[in-house]
Amino acid sequence: MSQQRHGSTPGEADGVPAFPDLPEATIARLPEYLRALHHLAETGAETVSSEGLAAAAGVNSAKLRKDLSHLGSYGTRGVGYDVALLVDQIEYILGLDKNRAVCLVGVGNLGHALAGYAGFASRGFRVVALFDADPKKVGEQINGLTVQHTDDLERVAAEESIAIGVIATPPGTAQAVADALVAAGVTSILNFAPGVLSVPSNVDVRKVDLAIELQILSFHEHRKASLTALPGGRSAPPANGGQEAVGS
């Protein structure tokens, strides 16, 4: 699936890809739609209604329609959206047809798991290099790749024309690694280390902090606990229909 250009590729009216500037919120949801669409495609569905796809992606149907309308008009009124076509569109917009090269820095507890994470490869990302500052880890084989020393990061990353760097080092070394990645020409960074990274404005950084997620949940636990003790607070309603309401 998702192999050749269809008649008119969305943004290439004239060889120059006129890029629709999508709202950030929309961009963040496109991968979710894509996952739902792949799932639908596996079940053999040819078309989906906005209602159906919205349910599968866990969002409001109006929001979904507005999101997709930003990509252009790829639905048919009275029918719905062509699943295969929409998959191609979203993959094109997200640049997933490029099979981007990813490198991973820091092969510790978390990094080791990320190196073997199947979810990356299955969605078009190739982990092509692993780095670590610990000499004991250098040379180790993980998932068919040899761990290299971070001193070689800049050279190797430039050679392999790596687009995305993943930082899974301890907080103290994250900034130095980011600097090396930037120096090697990497313009997108996924950072698992707690703390703020300083990078040039043309570099995109996304941060994932697992402890922060737990802390946010902890807040809601705290809030819920104090609500149950409060006059107006409904104290743990056990049976409420059962479904719906997905956090954040």
Residue with Cβ nearer DNA (66 or 155)? 66
Task: Give the binding-site size for DNA (rule: CB under 7 A).
Answer: 26
108 in a labelled binding site: yes
Closest CA to 115 of 192, 200, 35, 5: 192
**What residue has token string 């960074």?**
189
111 in a labelled binding site: yes
14, 28, 116, 135: CA torsion to nearest 10: 90
Residue with Cβ nearer DNA (74 or 117)? 74
Of residues 78-117, those binding DNA (CB under 7 A): 78-81
124 in a labelled binding site: no
56 binds, among a copy of itself, DNA, none (CB under 5 to 8 A by kind): a copy of itself
Closest CA to 185 of 215, 228, 154: 154
Asked if 216 interacts with a copy of itself (CB under 8 A), we say yes
3-class secondary structure, 8 = coil
Give the type of residue at 175.
Q
Closest CA to 50 of 25, 73, 23, 21: 73
Q: Which of 68, 89, 106, 125 binds a copy of itself (CB under 8 A)?
A: 125
Q: How far apart are the first and last CA of the chain?
A: 32
How many Cβ atoms from other residues are within 10 Å of residue 235's Cβ? 10
Stretch that binds DNA, among 60-68, 105-113, 212-220, 223-231 (CB under 7 A): 60-68
Alpha-carbon span 71 to 68, nearest angstrom: 5
Interface characters, 12-51, with a copy of itself (x: CB under 8 A) = ----xx-x----x--xx-xxx-xxx---------------
Residue with Cβ nearer a copy of itself (43 or 244)? 244
Closest CA to 164 of 98, 211, 89: 98
Asked if 236 interacts with a copy of itself (CB under 8 A), we say yes
Question: What's the min distance (Å) between Cβ of 45 and DNA?
Answer: 12
Asked if 161 interacts with a copy of itself (CB under 8 A), we say no
